Amino acid sequence: MKQGSVSRVLVERFNSGDDILAGLNDLVRRHNIRSGSFTAIGAVEKATVGFFMGNGRYSSTSLNGPLEVVACVGNVSIKDDIPFIHAHVTLADREGRAFGGHLMSGCTVGATFEVTMYAHDGIELSRRLDPQTKLSMLDA
């Protein structure tokens, strides 16, 4: 377990057509966030979500929108000395069917994507390769 405090709260809106994962990476790098957490809501025009299959492998699913971002949650840690975003997203279509998984590149903002980022102070989160799962696990 690691312990720290929230030092800053940033709220940013991504625009239609933006790649969500690229936008999150840009946000943490511009504001030098090396440890944090975030929540977000909004809409996407298309999405790619991943499912962990084991042995370090993900299966991905592409979805076409419009879709509502019911929830997107994640954290910021350090992997290979650069900020690393780990996020999961839940999406819903117009019939209320939900889809979700690991946020992957290729999730494109529809009308809006509103992020609340919490920068942590007094704590550094890092990731290390776990030989059993072949995942970069949070060192906490």
* 72-126 residue pLDDT tens: 999 999 999 999 999 999 999 999 999 999 999 999 999 999 999 999 999 989 9
3-state secondary structure of 116: strand
Please count the residues of the chain. Answer: 140
pLDDT at 54: 87
The letter for the amino acid at 106 is G
Question: Does the pLDDT of residue 139 top 90, yes or no?
Answer: no
Taking the domain 5-120, which CATH number applies?
Answer: 3.30.1330.80
Contact 86, 139 (CB under 8 A): no
How far apart are alpha carbons 105 and 95 in whole angstroms? 25
The mean pLDDT value for 65-69 works out to: 96
| pTM score | 0.92
Using the predicted structure, report yes or no on whether residue 27 has a pLDDT greater than 90.
yes
Three-state SS at 28: helix
Give the CA dihedral 77, 22, 109, 56, nearest 10 degrees.
Answer: -60
Q: What's at 44, amino acid-wise?
A: V
